A and B are shown apart, each in its own frame.
Chain A
Amino acid sequence: MSTKTDTMSRLRRGLNLNAEDEWPSVIRERLVAYGLLGLYVVVVWFPIYYILITSLKAPSETLSFPITFYPHHPTVSNYVEIFQNRPFGTYTLNSLIVAGTTTIICVTLGTLSGYTFSRYDFLGNKALLLSIIAARMIPPIALIVPFFEIMSHPPLIGGLTGTLYDTKIALILTYTFFNLPFAVWIMKNYFDGVPNSLDEQAQVDGCSTWEGFFKIILPVAKPGIAATAILAFIFSWNEFVFALVLTSSNVAQTLPIGVSLFVADDFIDWAHLAAGGMIAALPGILFGLFFQRYIVSGLTQGAVKE
């Protein structure tokens, strides 16, 4: 008897049950919820698992029959070989430079203007904010033709630089265009949630507007800045369409292009492709596992609070 109640109370604790909860119906509901979520997680992660084990199999094993659901002879040679035989080192470096620079520009401009949009009522601020929303609605793919033309024959500076086609600068400019409206929006919403009293206190303490912004406001804005930075980085790291349109050699090609080039071969080498795919997916998986809070807050700040 006593052991039974003991087990019962442990079960209740484990399932987060309060003493007053009705026992059978609530517990059934909880178990069903766990079951469904568990099933969903397994289904969602199975493809990721399959591509991961494919990357750890020798190429011959990916083409063995019947297929294997774990690598019988796990090897990291695919990873080593794509860096030796294909320019994956260059792709990774390009990705880092492009995504990193884009992130820095978006965070800097987004934080400065997001703060001003949030605090000041200046001429045309409503109209500007509206155009920023409109800018977010533009489907980038519709603009591949003008972007291709602009980057091939840049106006004004064209005489100085020649073409920007197939340069990292072209990608950085393009990605900044598409991510900046989002960055401004997240930061504006974030500053809306920071109480005005902070700014006033800074004024009272005799800070100039700039000093107050840098010394008092910025430190408080760190979570918003982190969310903006992570999202801008992930979006530019993963971007494929404009990288495909605006690059043609490994001077500027990024990881998504490098991975997609495997498909251009007559015969797709899945083992090496999977290794390349895992490299491209790594930041996403790491950010997703460790900074999920920022991703969620950034998305909801940027999307829902309209």
Chain B
Amino acid sequence: MAENTRSLRRRLDRLFIPLTVGPTVIWIAGIILYPTLQLLWSSLFYTNPITQQKQFVGLDNFASLLFKHGHWFGSVNPDIVRFTKHTVIYVGFSVTISFLLGLGIAMLLNKDLKGRGWIRTAVIVPWILPYVMSGLMWRWMFQTQYGAINGVLVGGGVISKQIPFLSDGTLAMIALIIADVWVFTPFIIIILLAGLQNVPEQLYDAAEVDGASRWSRFRNVTYPFLKPSILVALTIRIIFDIRALDLVWVMTHGGPGKSTEVWASWLYRTAMVFGDTGQGAALGVVMLATTFAIVAVLYQVFGGTPYET
């Protein structure tokens, strides 16, 4: 009996690795291989939205995504040009502004101020709220008649007439970027603050003794230590923003007149609203490739591979 339990224990011990890692590996293999292969597969078919009949069309979905009327190397599809431009503007401005703002706030929070913990808590909260709620909240803030922004501006005498923010293409894009910066700056603050705390204190003291200017202190002391954190913050921010549907969908719905339609909302509209899953899958493939390309470029610029510190 005792012999039996001992051998069972030994056998269980030998199975420790497969039993602990196995379920996770199977699960994640499922996420990488199965849905991704299914995505590539679906992008080669035309699915009739009504009968759900699939018809093999080869690369036609990609042709009609990239070119007008689906003629290879004819004139480029104006939609993809327009929505790519919106995506670049949205992601570019949001990431740049939130990065600079986050860096500034992180530097301030890195001083040993009293009540720093409270301030840190206060600035992190926006990122933890559901994006849907944040999007609707900003939609309400920018509301023409009863929104707080117009209320403050008109009440403060800054403007005399209310501005219809969300019914003008450019203003709606600006409103969207403001909301995005509001939501994601805390993330940058968290990551960069952790990076700043890696900078050895005595290096600052040394720089101070040498009478280094503020800029040179940042350039030569802070930046080299912060580089890995900057890379992570920017990578995650950019790939998150490309795929973020929540804010756009509830705040502007891609409107007015498609002027805030970005890749994510275009994909959702194509696949789920119009039911053209083949076209949606093709756009998904393009997005997947773009994301990996961007990550590769960022790692080239900031050096290092993703799995080295």
Contacts and interface: CB of A to CB of B under 8 A. Distances in A.
A222 interface: no
Contacts of A267: none
Contact of B272 (A113, A245, A262): A245
Interface in B110-153: 111-114, 119-126, 128-133, 136-138, 140-141, 143, 145-148, 151
Task: Using C-beta atoms within 8 Å of the partner chain, give the interface range for chain A.
Answer: 35 or more
Interface string A129-152: 111111101111111111111100
A149 B277 contact: yes
B288 interface: yes
B246 interface: yes
Interface in A264-306: 270, 273-274, 277, 280-281, 284-285, 287-289, 292, 295-296, 299-300, 303-306
B228 A240 contact: no
B57 interface: no
Nearest to B26: A109
Contact of B24 (A184, A213, A289, A304): A184
Nearest to B9: A208
A232 interface: no
A259 interface: yes
Given A148-B277, A296-B124, A44 B182 contact: yes
Interface stretch (B12-20, B71-79, B92-100): B12-20
Contact of B243 (A44, A141, A208, A305): A141
Contacts of B291: 137-139, 142
A50 B148 contact: yes
Chain B at the A interface: mostly helix, strand, loop or mixed?
helix
A218 interface: no
Taking residues whose C-beta sits less than 8 angstroms from the other chain, chain B's interface range is 35 or more
A34 B113 contact: yes
B307 interface: yes
A141 B128 contact: no
Interface in B11-70: 12-13, 16-17, 19-21, 23-25, 27-32, 34-36, 38-39, 42
Contact of B42 (A14, A146, A213, A299): A146
A2 interface: no
Interface in B285-309: 285, 287-288, 291-292, 295, 306-309
Contact of B190 (A40, A300, A306): A300
Interface string A34-69: 101100110011111011001000000011011101
A296 B229 CA distance: 14
Contacts of A296: 120, 124, 190, 193-194
B254 interface: no
Interface stretch (B83-91, B199-207, B263-271): B263-271
A50 B13 CA distance: 57
Chain A contact surface mostly:
helix
A255 interface: yes
Given A65-B145, A141-B264, A128 B39 contact: no
Contact of A66 (B122, B155, B308): B155
Contacts of B133: 51, 256, 259, 277, 280-281
A147 B130 contact: no
B245 interface: yes
A110 interface: yes
B24 A44 contact: no
Given A116-B17, A237-B130, A281-B130, A274 B38 contact: no
Interface core residue of A130, A237, A259 (most chain B CB under 10 Å) = A259
Contacts of A209: 13, 16
A281 B109 CA distance: 25
B23 to A, nearest CB: 5
Nearest to A134: B32
Given A129-B307, A238-B129, A306 B232 contact: yes
A196 to B, nearest CB: 16
Contacts of B9: 208
A30 interface: yes
Contact of B125 (A146, A178, A288): A288
A104 B146 CA distance: 43
B171 interface: no
B281 A146 contact: yes
Nearest to A15: B114
B236 A176 contact: no
Contacts of B80: none
B13 A210 contact: yes
Contacts of B285: 142
A292 B121 contact: yes
Interface string B231-250: 01100100100111110011
Given A145-B277, A256-B132, 7 more contacts: A122-B17, A139-B239, A148-B277, A208-B10, A263-B136, A284-B129, A289-B121
15 contacts: A29-B111, A37-B105, A47-B148, A65-B146, A67-B147, A69-B151, A112-B23, A113-B25, A144-B267, A237-B130, A238-B128, A240-B249, A299-B191, A304-B195, A304-B229
